[in-house]
């Protein structure tokens, strides 16, 4: 941790510097270097990533409410930029004027309606040797713990880390709208068809799912219990599965996986408890009965099943 003395006051904080209660947060007047403008990429060049290019110098900044004198309550937003303070503030105001509906934009709109602007103050300049994303996360966490009423929608860093319920709702609605388009679904299906994940990727996904914990599994189970599958959807799934070709190699893999899973006493006990507590309604029983009768009335299926049983008996001899 580092510190800067300003008018006789200093405070140590994670990853950088700030002022003490009773003093404003460090701003440009504390000889914090002005950040050079981010180099513009040409049409053929990719966007330069903050903190990854040796020529870029980033800075953590805060937006403050000019109406509030309290050194903590005045801090309303924490961000990172590789541009000048003026350009970053103009970008925030532009987003607000274009109709942004985040907590931050609502606060800025309130100021603009009163003829005011927020003040932007640099608190922690950084170089390529430091990780800007981790530094921003540390600052957001620090100010929230200090009781600052931040309007940040996330915990900072890359992407949406721990987004607010409002942001989650927006993302959910956008995804529902996107997947309601048959053309969009066809594009995604075409992109994923034939895609094979490497052994390393499979291992990472498997390990990640194992370590999610009981709370995540319970959430998933609850969501599945509440899910209503229409007859139309069932018919679509049935049609897709009936056309799916399962190779002997895949069958062998599935069989081996099932045997391995069922050889675990803990898994057997879980399944037994789940089945004992399972309530099957009369409607479900009727559906299962009708489905089984329809399935076993197929002569081709009966012949195939008979051949499989004979083959199994021959192997057991």
Task: Identify the pLDDT of residue 6.
Answer: 31
Q: Whole-angstrom Cα distance, residue 5 to residue 88?
A: 26
Task: Identify the pLDDT of residue 162.
Answer: 66
Q: Whole-angstrom Cα distance, residue 56 to residue 28?
A: 19
- Give the CA diameter of the chain: 92
What are the backbone dihedrals phi and psi of residue 3, each rounded to the nearest 5 degrees, phi first?
A: -145, 155
Going 149 to 130 to 12 to 26, the CA torsion angle's sign is negative
Q: Whole-angstrom Cα distance, residue 71 to residue 24?
A: 5
Q: What is the CA radius of gyration of the chain?
A: 29
Half-sphere exposure in the Cβ direction for 100 (13 Å, CA): 18
Task: Identify the pLDDT of residue 104.
Answer: 93
Task: Identify the pLDDT of residue 61.
Answer: 93
Which residue ranges make up each domain of the chain?
Answer: 11-145, 164-189, 214-261
Task: Identify the pLDDT of residue 52.
Answer: 36
Task: Identify the pLDDT of residue 160.
Answer: 57
Task: Identify the pLDDT of residue 223.
Answer: 84
Half-sphere exposure in the Cβ direction for 302 (13 Å, CA): 8
| Average pLDDT per block of 10 residues along the chain, 317 residues long | 31 38 34 36 36 59 94 93 88 91 92 94 83 88 92 78 73 83 86 83 83 80 83 85 83 87 86 83 87 84 84 76
Task: Identify the pLDDT of residue 5.
Answer: 28
Going 253 to 255 to 256 to 258, the CA torsion angle's sign is positive
Is residue 123 within 8 A of residue 15, CB to CB? The reply is: no
């Amino acid at each position: 941790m580092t510190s800067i003395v300003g008018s006789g006051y200093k405070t140590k904080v994670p990853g950088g510097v700030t002022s003490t209660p009773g003093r404003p947060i460090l701003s440009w007047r504390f000889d914090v270097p002005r950040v050079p403008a981010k180099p513009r990429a040409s049409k053929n060049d990719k966007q330069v990533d903050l903190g990854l290019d040796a020529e870029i110098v980033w800075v953590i900044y805060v937006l403050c409410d000019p109406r509030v004198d309290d050194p903590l309550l005045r801090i309303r937003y924490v961000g990172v930029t590789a541009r000048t303070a003026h350009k970053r503030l103009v970008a925030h105001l532009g987003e607000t004027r274009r109709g942004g509906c985040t907590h931050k934009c609502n606060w800025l709109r309130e100021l603009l309606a009163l003829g005011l602007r927020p003040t932007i103050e640099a608190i922690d300049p950084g170089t390529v040797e430091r990780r800007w994303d981790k530094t921003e996360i540390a600052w957001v966490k620090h100010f929230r713990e200090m009781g600052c009423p931040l309007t940040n929608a996330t915990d900072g860093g890359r992407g949406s880390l721990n987004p607010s319920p409002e942001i989650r709702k927006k993302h959910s609605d956008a995804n529902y709208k996107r997947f309601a388009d048959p053309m969009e679904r066809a594009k995604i299906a075409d992109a994923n068809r034939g895609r094979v994940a490497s052994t390393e990727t499979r291992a990472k996904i498997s390990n990640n799912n194992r370590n999610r914990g009981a709370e995540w599994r319970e959430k998933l189970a609850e969501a599945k219990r509440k899910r209503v599958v229409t007859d139309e959807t069932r018919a679509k799934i049935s049609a897709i599965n009936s056309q799916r070709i399962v190779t002997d190699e895949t069958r062998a893999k599935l069989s081996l996986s099932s045997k391995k899973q069922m050889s675990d006493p803990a898994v057997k006990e879980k399944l037994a408890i789940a089945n004992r507590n399972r309530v099957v309604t009369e409607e479900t029983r009727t559906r299962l009965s009708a489905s089984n009768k329809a399935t076993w009335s197929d002569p081709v299926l009966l012949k195939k099943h008979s051949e499989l049983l004979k083959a199994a008996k021959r192997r057991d001899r």
